[in-house]
Amino acid sequence: MSRFDEIAIVATAQTPARRRYPDSEASLLLDLTNQLLAETRLPRSAVDFTIAGSCDYLSGLPFAFVSNVDGFGAWPPVYESHVEMDGAWALFEAWVRLQVGDIDVALIAGSGKSSPGTPREIFPLQTDPYYAAPLGLDPVSVAGLQARALLDAGLATERDFAAVVARSRRAALTNPNAQVAKDVSIEALLAEPYFASPLRKHDLPPISDGAAAVLIARGKRARELTDKPVWIRAIDHRIDSHHLGLRDLTDSPSTRLAARGVGVHAGPLDVAELCVRYSPEEIVLRRALELKDDTPVNPSGGPLSGHPVMATGLVRVIEVANRIRAGGARRGLAHAASGPALQQNLLCILEAA
Amino acid sequence: MSSLPSLAYTLEYPYTRTTGPVVGAFLTGLRDGRLLGIRCGRRVLCPPLEYDPETGASLAPDFVEVGPGGTLLSWTWIAEPTRKHPFQEPFAFALIRPDGADSAVCHAVKASGPEALRTGGRVRTQYRAERKGAITDLYFAPEAEAEAQYVPPGKGAVELTEHLISLTYSEPLAPHRERFAKGLLAGKFIGQRSPASGKVYLPSKGYDPIERVRMTERDDVVVADTGTVVAFTVITPVQYYGQKETEPYIRASILLDGADQPLGQQDIRTIPVAEFRTGLRVRAVWKSAAERSVLEVDNRWGGTGAVIERWEPTGEPDVPFEQIREHNW
C-alpha cells in the first residue's frame, strides 16, 4: 500500500506551441480552463484549488501572474497558489495539497509567452546573482558547456546530438501542437554551422508561446469524473547545485535521486516524455534514468519541437497521460526540468487503472 | 485604419547587493587583480562559497590565492553574443579550474578564435582596465594570448556590488486593446459588453473574467466620457530610481456612465486636492486630435495614454456613496 492517497489526472488541455500568440497568457488559460470543465462537466465552483506556473520576467511585468488568475475564472474565490516554475511543479504542489484530504479537485496550469522578450537575456537571472547573472550566463551557453563535457568524456558524439534532433522533429510531424516538425537527415543537420559550439541552432528549442493545463482529483472523485483516470503513482523532484563549477555536467545526480524516489523501473515503461530542451540533455537523461534503448522517448517530438516555457514540463505529463488514456501505453514516465543544464528535475510516473 | 506600432518597453531593476565576508573578499580580490579561493576541508573552492556544498556548514573566511593560470574543463564558442554577455564579439564561456583550486569557475574567455581553445588547454586571468568590484572585473584568455597586466589595488573592501537588470520587450497590442487605443485617438472610450453578464468592461482584456467568456469586436460598445469618481488617492512621490514626479498628485478611478468597471489611474492635476472627493461627477476634456498619443497604452493595465487634457467637474450633484459602493476600492 502506498503511503499516499490515490490521485488521478482526469482531463488535460494544451495550446499549440506558436512563435507568437497575439493575446494574453490569461486568455490562453481561460480557453484551457473551459475545455477542462466542459470535458468533466464540472462547474467552476467544484474546483477547490487552482495553481499556476508562470514567469513574470517572461511577460516583462511584475505581478503578471496575478492577472493570469483571470484565466481560471476570477469568481468564486478558491484556494489559489502560484509557482515561479514550470507547471509540472504546480502539479507537484497540487498533488501535495490534495494529500491533505480536505478537498478533491485541483486545476493546474503552466503558461509562458517568450515572444515579447529575449529568453537568452532573461534566463541568466535564474543563476547566482553574484557569480553568474552579471555575466549574462544563459542556458544556451551552459548547454554548450554540457555538450562539450559529454563529447570529451566519450559519452556522445555530435552525430548523437543530431540524431536526437532528427528523431524529435520527425516525431513531431504527427503532433498537431508542435511548432517545428520536419523530416531532416542527420547529415543535413551536421552540415549546419555552430551556434554555441559544439551545439548548432537546431540543438536548441524553438522560442514559443503556449500553455497547458490539467485537472486532477482524489480517488473516488476521479472515477466519477472520467472512466479513464490516469493515476499519478509517484512524483518527486530534486535539485543539483546552482554553482556549475561544482557539478559534473555529464551526469544528473538529481535525476538519479528522483528516479529512485518514484521507482522508474518498478514496472515496465511504455513511454517516456523527457524535457529535452537541448539535444545533449537526452543523452544525460537516458543514462541517469537507465532507460532501455527500446523505450519510446518523446513520441510527441519533445521540447525541441515546441518549448512554451513554464508549460513545457507540464506538457510532458499531458503527453504521457494522453497516450495512456488513448490505450497506447499502460505505464509512462514524465520528466520536467528547470534551470541551466538540467539543474532541477521532476519525475512523475503515470499509470492506467 | 492601419495598425498601431508594437509596444516596446524596458524593464529595469537596479540591484545593489551587500557582499558579506566571503563574496566581498573575492570581489575585493578581483578589483585588486587577485583570484581567491576558500578552504573547505582539504579542498579549495573557487569561486569561494559561504558554506560547504556537501554539508551546508558555514566556512571560515580562510582564503587562498589561486591562479593566475588555469585549465579548461569545458568550453563553448559563442558565435552570437547577447547584449548581456561580457564581450560583444564572439568569445567562449568556459569552466576553468584555477591552479590551486579544486572546483571550477564558469567565466568568459577572450580568444582569437575557437581554434585557440581545447579542453585541457591553459588559460590565464585577465582584468578589466576599469574594475567595479564585480564578477565582470575578471575574464580569461588562452595563455599564449594573455597580456601582462599591472593591476593597481583599490581602496577599502568591496562591500556592495551592483547589477543593473535591464530587459527590453516588444509585442503588438492585442486586437481588442488596439481597438480601445484607436478609440482613444478618435476621442471615444470603447469598452466591451459581456455577452454572458451584460457588464461593460473598460478597457476590456478581451474576455469576461467572471463568466469566463471571450469577447469579440461584436461586443465592442462606446461608453460616455462623463462619469463619477469612485476612488482616489493622493500620492506624495518618493524619489526612487526612475521617479519623474516631484509634487503630490491625485490618481483617481472614474466609473464612466455606461461602464461597469472604473477607469483606473486617472491623472488629476487641475482639481484642488481639498475639493476632490468620491461621488464627484467629472467629464473628460480631450486633447486635440493632433496632440493625442496612445504610446503608453499597453496590453496589461491599459491606461489611457496621453489623450485626455484633464478631467473637469460637470457641476452635477454628487452621486451618493451607496450607488458607487461596489466600485469603491
pLDDT tens track for B72-101? 999 999 999 999 999 999 999 999 999 999
CB pair distance less than 8 Å for B84 and A33: no
ipTM: 0.95
In the predicted model, is pLDDT for residue A187 greater than 70?
Answer: yes
Q: Return the CA Rg of chain A.
A: 19
Closest in B53, B78, B119 to A241, CB measured: B53
Rounded (5°) CA angle B325-B328-B329: 145
Architecture in CATH of A7-118+207-231:
3-Layer(aba) Sandwich (3.40)
The minimal CB distance from A136 to the residues B77, B85, B114 is found for B85
Under CATH, which architecture does the A119-206+232-351 domain have? 3-Layer(aba) Sandwich (3.40)
pLDDT in tens, B134-188: 999 999 999 999 999 999 999 999 999 999 999 999 999 999 999 999 999 999 9
The last residue of a domain, from among B149, B167, B185: B167
The answer on B88 and B65 residing in a single domain is yes
Q: Indicate the SS3 state at residue B48.
A: coil
Contact residues for B273 (Cβ-Cβ < 8 A; gap 6+): B234, B248, B250
pLDDT tens-digit readout, A88-107: 999 999 999 999 999 999 99
Q: Looking at the structure, do residues B107 and B19 belong to the same domain, yes or no?
A: yes
pLDDT at A189 over 50: yes
Name the residue among B180, B324, B187 with its Cα closest to residue B253.
B324
Percent of chain A, pLDDT > 70?
99
B225 and B261, same domain (yes or no)? yes
Residues B246 and B224 in one domain: yes
Q: Does residue B89 share a domain with residue B238?
A: no
Structural domain boundaries enclosing B96: 7-167
Q: Would you say residue B49 lies in a domain?
A: yes
Give the pLDDT of residue B329.
Answer: 56
Regarding whether B186 and B286 lie in a shared domain, the answer is: yes
Look at residue A273 and give its three-state secondary structure.
strand
Q: Which residue has the cell 495553481?
A: A51
pLDDT band at A335 (very low <50, low <70, confident <90, very high): very high
Cβ of B165 within 8 Å of Cβ of A197? The answer is no
> Chain B: residue nearest A250 by CA?
B74
CATH 3.40.47.10 in chain A: give the residue spans.
Answer: 7-118+207-231, 119-206+232-351
Mean pLDDT of B205-218: 95
- Asked if the Cβ–Cβ distance from B93 to A144 is below 8 Å, we say yes
Q: Which residues pair with B13 in a beta bridge?
A: B165
Which residues have CB under 8 Å from A40's CB, separation 6+?
A10, A11, A215, A225, A226
* Residues B198, B92 within the same domain: no
Question: Would residue B282 count as lying in a domain?
Answer: yes
Residues of A in contact with B114 (CB under 8 A): 194, 197
Q: Which chain A residues are within 8 Å of B163, Cβ to Cβ?
A: 129, 133-134
- For residue A1, pLDDT over 60 is answered with no
φ, ψ at B64 (rounded to 5°): -130, 135
Pick from B38, B106, B173, B326 the residue to mutate for testing the A interface (most A CBs within 10 Å): B106
Q: What is the pLDDT of residue B61?
A: 94
A27, A73, A243 member nearest B206 (Cβ): A27
Q: Do B202 and B293 fall within a single domain?
A: yes
The last residue of one of the domains, among B132, B151, B167, is B167
Interfacial B residues in 112-151 facing A (CB < 8 Å): 114, 119, 134-136
Q: Which of B138, B167, B196 is the last residue of a domain?
A: B167
Answer yes or no: do B160 and B12 share one domain.
yes
Q: Cβ of B114 and A129 within 8 Å?
A: no
Assigned domain for B1 exists:
no
Residue A278 confidence (pLDDT):
98
Cα distances from A124 to residues A128, A138, A242, B203, in angstroms, run 9, 5, 12, 35
Alpha-carbon span A165 to A301, nearest angstrom? 9
Share of chain A above pLDDT 90, in %: 93
- Residues 6+ positions from B264 with CB-CB distance below 8 Å: B251, B253, B301, B302
Of A32, A136, A30, nearest to A75 (Cα)? A30
- Beta strands B200-201 and B160-171 are unpaired
Of A39-53, A248-262, B41-55, B237-251, where does mean pLDDT reach its minimum? B237-251
Q: What gap in Å lies between CA B94 and CA B81, rounded to an integer?
A: 14
* Domain-embedded: residue B75: yes
Is B31 part of the contact surface with chain A (CB cutoff 8 Å)? no
Nearest Cα of chain A lies from the Cα of B277 at a distance, in angstroms, of 29
User: What is the nearest CA distance from A330 to chain B, expressed in angstroms?
Assistant: 35
Q: Look at residue B36 and tell me if it is in a domain.
A: yes
Check if B175 contacts A (Cβ < 8 Å).
Answer: yes
Decide if B264 is inside a domain. yes
Instruction: Check whether residue B55 and residue B199 sit in a common domain.
Output: no
Co-location of B95 and B146 in the same domain: yes
Quick check: B78 contacting A, CB < 8 Å? yes
Considering the domain architecture, whether residues B119 and B212 belong to the same structural domain is answered as no
What is the crossing angle of helices A279-289 and A158-171, to 10°? Answer: 90
Say yes or no for a CB contact (<8 Å) between B76 and A141.
Answer: yes
Structure confidence at residue B288 as a pLDDT band (50, 70, 90): very high
Q: Which residues contact B127 (CB under 8 A, 6 or more apart)?
A: B30, B33, B137, B138, B139, B149, B151
CA distance A194 to chain B (A): 7
Q: How many domains does chain B have?
A: 2
